[in-house]
Amino acid sequence: MTTADVLDHEPAGPDPVRPFAAYPTAALMAIATRPDVVFTRGRGSWIWDSEGRRYLDFVQGWAVNTLGHAPAAVATALHAQAQCLLQAGPGFYSDRAAELAARLAALSGLDRCFIANSGAEANEGAIKLARKFGQAHRGGAFEIVTFANAFHGRSLATMSASGKPGFERLFEPKVAGFPKARLNDLDSVAACVGSRTVAVMVEPIQGEAGVIEASDGFLRGLRRFCDERGLLLVLDEVQTGIGRTGSMWAHTRSGIRPDILTLGKGLGGGVPIGAVLARESACCFEPGDQGGTYNGNALVCAAALAVLDVVAAPGFLAAVESRSARLRAGLDRVAARLGLPPSDGRGLLLAIDLPHHRVAQDVADAARSRAGHDGVVPGLLVNPVRRKRLRLMPALDVGEAEVDEGLAILGSLLTRGA
Ligand SMILES: *Cc1c(COP(=O)(O)O)cnc(C)c1O
């Protein structure tokens, strides 16, 4: 959409202009340092705040809005499903849950699916499945090798599995059994493996760490290593799955297949969902081992099916790659002008380093707060993923004009005073 189109298509808000201070934001627990902005509506790559300012959104709910804000495909599916069946309960089959499981199995080449409510819950399920496998087949082995700087979620077990600096001291004691290896270092994995090891769990691209790729060679080596040692390979594709990196799964490019695959974020296109997929030989849950009241909720499954219809349609992922190429080329031009290395990442999960005198949080704040109250001059939402690194995760159907507009804003912010 061009700026003129956007202004024409601004969705009506419940309160078109209401100042930030009028909202009871203090009623929310302070789990993040949030800016003084209340978002009220969005469409595609654009989001509006309660004071009428608009923003080009390259965060998209933290890489969850696969098709941008309020996409018609998801809205229509939710509307139809809401009038039909919300939830039958985890002790029963529903048509949508069965369809989604079969769809994900077919797309991934894996056999069975457990549908969860978030990425953390999906990973928690994968950890439990691996531990059950260890009990059933590996003499009680329970350790899962994970990686420095990994991020697997915020439940106690997934925080313990994570290697995020800053997590070490939180909520002690940790859940035991997650020795840490170094990404792209097979020897460091081997050094963590012993008789109690049952699995290795890795993100194909470490998103929260700042968009750090596991190399194809490393992933292939890990697959071989796990096969030789009888270990399960668990891939956390919560952030990288569902087309985010330009292919349906990030691991496709290395030609490997995991034993267990976890999904979240982009699968729901903005509604909360997660999934664990596994090959038949690893599917050792028995009735009573795993569950959750909302799991397989028909409403959210309908949204995920609508997202998959779009992402798996012929040509969609090729278009993601061409948008990615355009965004990357622009980012790399800015980086070259500043004497910085080119961008990292794949598809529409990209990151760039900042010049030594710039701090990512300040750049993100400046990009956001340039938005004018007239709604004409837009702000830009980007993620300061590390102190000196910005992450971009726009909608997979972001327009070329929007890519160019985002690049122009970023370019002028970064090269100013450089
Ligand atoms: C976001 C994320 C999670 C956690 O997902 P939630 O839905 O926030 O629980 C797990 N793993 C990775 C790789 C993620 O990016």
**Amino acid identity, position 206:** Q
Mutate-to-test residue for ligand 1 from 121, 152, 385, 391, highest number of ligand atoms within 8 A of CB:
152
Of ligand 1's atoms, which has the minimum distance to the CA of residue 62? 1
Asked if residue 391 has its Cβ within 6 Å of ligand 1, the reply is no
Asked if residue 264 has its Cβ within 6 Å of ligand 1, the reply is yes
Per-residue model confidence (pLDDT) at position 2: 58
Distance CA 259, CA 199 (A): 10
Asked if residue 147 has its Cβ within 6 Å of ligand 1, the reply is no
Per-residue model confidence (pLDDT) at position 13: 64
Give start and end residues of each alpha helix (H) in 151-185: 156-161
Of ligand 1's atoms, which has the minimum distance to the CA of residue 272? 7
Tokens of 155: 């439940």
Residue-wise pLDDT tens digits, 270-301: 999 999 999 999 999 999 999 999 999 999 99
Query: CA 245, 248, 253, 255 torsion: positive or negative?
Result: positive
Of ligand 1's atoms, which has the minimum distance to the CA of residue 240? 13
Question: Hey, what CATH class is 73-311 in?
Answer: alpha beta
Asked if residue 153 has its Cβ within 6 Å of ligand 1, the reply is yes
Distance CA 259, CA 214 (A): 17
Per-residue model confidence (pLDDT) at position 342: 97
Mutate-to-test residue for ligand 1 from 31, 151, 393, highest number of ligand atoms within 8 A of CB:
151
Residue-wise pLDDT tens digits, 17-53: 899 999 999 999 999 999 999 999 999 999 999 999 9
Asked if residue 236 has its Cβ within 6 Å of ligand 1, the reply is yes
Whose Cα sits closest to atom 11 in ligand 1? 152
Residues 348-385: b if buried by 16+ CB within 10 A, e if exposed: bbbbbbbeeebebeebbebbbebbeeebeebbbbbbbb
Residue-wise pLDDT tens digits, 97-135: 999 999 999 999 999 999 999 999 999 999 999 999 999
Residue 137: pLDDT band by 50, 70, 90 thresholds?
A: very high
pLDDT of 324 above 60: yes
In the chain, domain spans: 73-311, 316-359+367-384+401-418
Residue-wise pLDDT tens digits, 382-411: 999 999 999 999 999 999 999 999 999 999
The arithmetic mean of pLDDT across residues 47-64, rounded, is 97
Of ligand 1's atoms, which has the minimum distance to the CA of residue 239? 15
Distance CA 20, CA 81 (A): 34
Asked if residue 239 has its Cβ within 6 Å of ligand 1, the reply is yes
Distance CA 215, CA 184 (A): 6
